[in-house]
């Protein structure tokens, strides 16, 4: 007989790990105990050596579906003769290393019970078990036990307690376990917060949605705004109330069959849609899709997801097949998640509120992604994925990385684990900054991390930078595009040197110019800027970001001078003469190497978008317009500096010749890919760089990304792209953390 102490760390709390251990030990005739503590799961097991070997083998190979086993530590103890096996009460330990599970979509077992009239949880909108339900958004502290969650105030009834203590039950030690007798309840309120006296709030909500009303629906990580996506009057009304002119709304579809009627599903899309994370997946829409034009104006794609809570599923139980399900906020504000706050902020948007009395502790937006070659390409990594850690090979110290200004996330490291936060948003107002600061404190508490070093962006005026400067910690500032490249390298454990191709809208450069198309030789110790897009004035500074016609005008001015005045006719009413004088005199026109602004210029030249209503709109719509082609425009590349003026002149010639605009857009995209290929060829020939890292927001563009990867791989380059974090600024904090965590202590 032998007795072992077994310590398991990872995502092992809230996922049915203790019940799994209990059943496994009992099946092998082993004695001992198992408990949760602040490190993970600790157990002692005793029995014959062969049975213990089988126990350890299956412990690692057959964990619950939502578990993530990071490390197993085994020590031999003196046998005590214990024959029974039981679950002990959780205890506190000196170190906190336990990991929290992300929120998990409703499992098939719970759905069967939800729709079974004979089940005691029939149509109960908070049904869950150890394999599904809320986790991250309800956890206040660890260890993951009911008193440390927002379910603490709901005392289990005798039936639920029996399930909770029954080792053979699926709800054995399921912390959010509840039923209609003892658990949270749903209610329907008017916009003044007064409860409606109705028999079934969900049935009434369905009726109101069918009538064309807008409902605020409380989900896992915040409120959504829901309405009928097939009625243009309803969707356009929601746009007006939400002050969201053009940015697409997400859709929630009843099931995969409905999705397939609306969208084309590439390889990997079905698996992502039906995964336990249930992200929003951006898919090519079918031409015959009958959703209202205002759902996604100017787009050939739709962002769709499947229901992930019982409440969502019940909304589709009486004839509704699809709903607009957009974030519960006014445009550019954080999602509302506290009940009183939601009523105050959303009463001018929603007609009614479908809410409940289970508090949300941590705001968490839906995750959003595209599919690239069967794998996820994140636009936003949040609900369902956070706080699942990523591994940073060779990390030496605990770091807080503050991320960027836009699409902000932060990242905390502990050992080799990097905890990338949920989506915070754009740090441009008090509410978002407050969310950023609260999120950092929450992560520090639940993972018991005391950062030794803080990393931040080089830009001196970012609110994330200002936050970093206010902390009493050693600091390191990283250039924005270097951090982008590092975010991708971190995913693959690359140390360099690699060729980093980073393309986005804006980033503060070492020379204080606005960078955004950078060709870098990158290692973990630093980078060398080999080249970039040729500098051009950014006329009006930030105004040029919102008014792409300004970029079109300055590119025309540089490419043609004033030899062809008719080119500028369409820009005269917009203030062309004033802009020209400002550029010539250098007034509020900082030098810029931004690929995002070049996309804006071409979008305006083609008449796609002169003024944008949301970030990236001009570039997104230019991609939507494009027709695939192998033809590209001429360009110049001297000393790794890309001069697009020959391309601009050729685009204008094509416009004058009546070449279809989809083909012009396609040729433009193919040209940028050709530039990248030529840069890579030279870097390999001159510097021996054979590995290419592609990062930055421009690589959310699937047409550009596919062209680049295909061309590079065809010539023998090893190409790396972001798959686990966004290539946009949502991944910046991981790159910052990768660098800072490897610094010598």
Residue 138 counted as domain residue: no
Token code pair at residue 290: 């009958």
For residue 303, give the CATH number of its domain.
Answer: 3.90.870.40
Q: Evaluate the CA torsion angle 227, 228, 234, 237 in order and state its sign.
A: positive
Residue 571 and residue 482 in one domain: no
- What pLDDT, in 10s, does the model give residues 559-617? 988 776 676 676 655 667 777 777 777 788 899 999 999 999 999 999 999 999 999 99
Residue 345 and residue 418 in one domain: no
Residue 413 is part of which domain span? Answer: 372-491+727-741
Q: Evaluate the CA torsion angle 434, 435, 439, 442 in order and state its sign.
A: positive
pLDDT at residue 143, rounded to an integer: 77
Token code pair at residue 526: 């630093």
- What pLDDT, in 10s, does the model give residues 528-542? 999 999 999 999 888
- What pLDDT, in 10s, does the model give residues 8-49? 988 888 788 888 999 999 999 999 999 988 788 999 999 999
The last residue of a domain, from among 27, 52, 87:
87
Tell me what the pLDDT averaged over the chain comes to. Answer: 94
pLDDT at residue 580, rounded to an integer: 78
pLDDT at residue 585, rounded to an integer: 78
The last residue of a domain, from among 87, 115, 146:
87
Distance of CA 675 to the CA centre of its chain: 29
How many other C-beta atoms lie within 10 A of the C-beta of residue 338?
15
Check if the beta carbon of residue 512 is closer than 8 Å to that of residue 706.
no
Residue 543 and residue 625 in one domain: yes
pLDDT at residue 98, rounded to an integer: 65
- Residue 93 confidence (pLDDT) above 60: no
Residue 136 counted as domain residue: no
For residue 733, give the CATH number of its domain.
Answer: 3.30.420.360
Check if the beta carbon of residue 489 is closer than 8 Å to that of residue 393.
no
| pLDDT band (50, 70, 90) for residue 744 | confident
For residue 686, give the CATH number of its domain.
Answer: 3.30.420.40
Cα 662 from Cα 671, distance rounded (Å): 14
Cα 358 from Cα 360, distance rounded (Å): 7
Check if the beta carbon of residue 361 is closer than 8 Å to that of residue 138.
yes
Three-state SS at 424: coil
Q: Name the domain count of the chain.
A: 4
Listing DSSP states for 609-642 in one string gives -SS-SSTTHHHHHHHHH----S-----EEETTEE
Residue 382 and residue 299 in one domain: no
107 against 94, higher pLDDT:
107
Distance of CA 179 to the CA centre of its chain: 32
Residue 682 and residue 538 in one domain: yes
Residue 519 counted as domain residue: no
210 against 68, higher pLDDT:
210
Taking the CA atoms of residue 549, residue 552, residue 554 and residue 556 in that order, the dihedral angle to the nearest 10 degrees is -140
Per DSSP, which regions of 208-316 are E strands? 215-218, 223-227, 250-253, 280-284, 301-305
Residue 567 counted as domain residue: yes
H or E stretch covering 454? strand 453-457
Residue 543 and residue 484 in one domain: no
Residue 427 and residue 285 in one domain: no
Q: What's the rounded mean pLDDT across residues 409-419?
A: 95
Token code pair at residue 137: 């958004």
| pLDDT band (50, 70, 90) for residue 304 | very high
Residue 510 counted as domain residue: no
- Residue 111 confidence (pLDDT) above 80: yes
H or E stretch covering 714? helix 702-714
Alpha helices in 293-389 (DSSP H): 310-315, 339-346
| pLDDT band (50, 70, 90) for residue 167 | confident
Cα 140 from Cα 14, distance rounded (Å): 13
Check if the beta carbon of residue 419 is closer than 8 Å to that of residue 446.
no
Q: What's the rounded mean pLDDT across residues 213-235?
A: 98
Listing DSSP states for 317-337 in one string gives SSS--EEEEEESSSTTSPPP-
Cα 311 from Cα 639, distance rounded (Å): 59
Cα 447 from Cα 39, distance rounded (Å): 9
Cα 465 from Cα 708, distance rounded (Å): 33
Token code pair at residue 46: 């005793």
Residue 680 and residue 566 in one domain: yes
The last residue of a domain, from among 58, 87, 116:
87
For residue 78, give the CATH number of its domain.
Answer: 3.30.70.100
H or E stretch covering 42? strand 41-47
Residue 548 and residue 680 in one domain: yes
Residue 105 counted as domain residue: no
Check if the beta carbon of residue 372 is closer than 8 Å to that of residue 705.
yes
DSSP 735: H
Cα 422 from Cα 693, distance rounded (Å): 24
Q: What's the rounded mean pLDDT across residues 97-104?
A: 82
- Residue 94 confidence (pLDDT) above 70: no
| pLDDT band (50, 70, 90) for residue 95 | low
Residue 440 and residue 411 in one domain: yes
- What pLDDT, in 10s, does the model give residues 306-333? 999 999 999 999 999 999 999 999 877 8
- What pLDDT, in 10s, does the model give residues 250-259? 999 999 999 9
- What pLDDT, in 10s, does the model give residues 632-642? 999 999 999 99
Q: What's the rounded mean pLDDT across residues 692-712?
A: 98
Cα 653 from Cα 239, distance rounded (Å): 38
- Residue 448 confidence (pLDDT) above 70: yes
Please confirm whether the linkage preceding 211 is cis (ω < 30° from 0). no
H or E stretch covering 114? helix 108-114
Residue 619 counted as domain residue: yes
Distance of CA 332 to the CA centre of its chain: 16
Residue 717 and residue 733 in one domain: no
Three-state SS at 350: coil
Residue 551 and residue 687 in one domain: yes
Check if the beta carbon of residue 129 is closer than 8 Å to that of residue 107.
yes
Q: What's the rounded mean pLDDT across residues 336-341?
A: 95
- Residue 703 confidence (pLDDT) above 60: yes
Please give the model's pTM, rounded to 2 decimal places: 0.93
Residue 425 counted as domain residue: yes
- What pLDDT, in 10s, does the model give residues 507-534? 999 999 999 999 999 999 999 999 999 9
Among all chains, which residue has been given the structure tokens 């639920």?
160
């Amino acid at each position: 007989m032998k007795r072992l102490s077994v310590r398991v760390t990872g995502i092992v709390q809230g996922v049915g790990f203790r019940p799994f251990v209990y059943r496994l030990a009992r099946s092998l005739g082993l004695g001992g105990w198992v408990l949760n503590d602040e490190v993970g799961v600790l157990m002692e097991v005793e029995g014959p050596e062969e049975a213990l070997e089988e126990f350890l083998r299956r412990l690692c190979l057959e964990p619950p579906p939502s578990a993530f086993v990071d490390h197993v530590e085994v020590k031999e103890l003196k046998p005590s003769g214990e024959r029974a096996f039981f679950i002990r009460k959780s205890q506190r330990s000196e170190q906190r290393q336990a990991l929290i599970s992300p929120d998990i979509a409703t499992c098939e077992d719970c759905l069967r019970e939800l729709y079974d009239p004979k089940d005691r949880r029939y149509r109960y909108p908070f049904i869950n078990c150890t394999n599904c339900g809320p986790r991250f958004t309800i956890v206040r502290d660890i260890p993951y036990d009911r008193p440390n969650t927002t379910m603490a105030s709901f005392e289990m009834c005798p039936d639920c307690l029996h399930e909770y203590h029954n080792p053979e039950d699926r709800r054995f030690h399921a912390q959010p376990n509840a039923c209609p007798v003892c658990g949270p309840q749903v209610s329907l309120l008017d916009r003044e917060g007064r409860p409606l006296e109705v028999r079934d709030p969900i049935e009434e909500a369905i009726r109101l949605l069918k009538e064309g009303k807008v409902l605020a629906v409380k989900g896992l990580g915040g409120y959504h705004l829901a309405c009928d996506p097939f009625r243009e009057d309803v969707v356009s009304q929601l746009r007006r109330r939400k002050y969201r002119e053009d940015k697409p709304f997400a859709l929630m579809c009843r099931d995969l069959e409905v999705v397939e009627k609306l969208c084309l599903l590439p390889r990997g899309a079905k698996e992502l849609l039906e995964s336990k994370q249930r992200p929003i997946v951006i898919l090519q829409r079918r031409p015959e899709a009958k959703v209202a034009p205002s759902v996604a104006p100017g787009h050939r794609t739709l962002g769709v997801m499947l229901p992930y809570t019982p409440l969502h599923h019940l909304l589709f139980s009486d004839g509704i097949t699809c709903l607009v399900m957009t974030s519960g906020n006014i445009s550019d504000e954080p999602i509302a998640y506290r009940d009183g706050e939601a009523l105050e902020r959303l009463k001018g948007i929603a007609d009614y509120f479908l809410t409940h009395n289970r508090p949300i502790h941590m705001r968490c937006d839906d995750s959003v992604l595209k599919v690239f070659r069967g794998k996820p390409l994140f636009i936003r990594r949040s609900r369902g994925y956070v706080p699942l850690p990523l591994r940073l090979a060779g990390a030496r110290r605990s770091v807080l990385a503050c991320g960027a200004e836009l699409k902000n996330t932060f990242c905390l490291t502990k050992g080799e684990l990097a905890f990338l936060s949920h989506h915070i948003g754009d740090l441009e107002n008090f509410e978002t900054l407050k969310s950023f600061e609260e999120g950092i404190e929450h992560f520090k508490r639940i993972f018991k991390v005391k950062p030794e070093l803080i990393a931040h962006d080089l830009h001196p005026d970012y609110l994330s930078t200002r936050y970093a400067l206010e902390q009493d910690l050693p600091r390191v500032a990283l250039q924005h595009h270097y951090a982008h490249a590092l975010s991708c390298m971190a995913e693959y454990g690359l140390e360099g040197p690699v060729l980093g191709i980073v393309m986005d809208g804006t980033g503060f450069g070492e020379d204080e110019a606005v960078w955004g198309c950078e060709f870098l030789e990158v290692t973990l110790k630093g980078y060398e800027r080999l080249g970039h897009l040729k500098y051009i004035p950014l006329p009006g500074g930030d105004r040029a970001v919102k008014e792409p016609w300004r970029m079109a005008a300055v590119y025309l001015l540089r490419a043609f001078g004033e030899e062809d005045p008719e080119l500028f006719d369409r820009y005269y009413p917009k203030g062309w003469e004033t802009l020209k004088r400002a550029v010539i005199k250098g007034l509020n026109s900082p030098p810029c190497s931004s690929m995002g602004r070049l996309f804006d210029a071409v979008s305006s030249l083609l008449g796609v978008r002169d003024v944008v209503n949301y970030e990236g709109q001009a570039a997104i719509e230019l991609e939507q317009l494009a027709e695939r082609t192998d033809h590209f425009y001429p360009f110049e590349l001297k000393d790794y500096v890309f001069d697009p003026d020959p391309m601009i002149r050729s685009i204008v010639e094509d416009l004058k010749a009546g070449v279809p605009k989809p083909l012009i857009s396609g040729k433009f995209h193919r040209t940028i890919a050709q530039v990248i290929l030529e840069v890579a060829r030279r870097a390999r020939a001159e510097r021996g760089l054979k590995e290419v890292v592609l990062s930055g927001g421009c690589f959310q563009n699937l047409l550009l990304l596919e062209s680049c990867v295909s061309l590079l791989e065809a010539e023998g380059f090893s190409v790396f792209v972001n798959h686990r974090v966004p290539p946009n600024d949502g991944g910046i904090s991981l790159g910052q953390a990768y660098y800072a965590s490897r610094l010598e202590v």
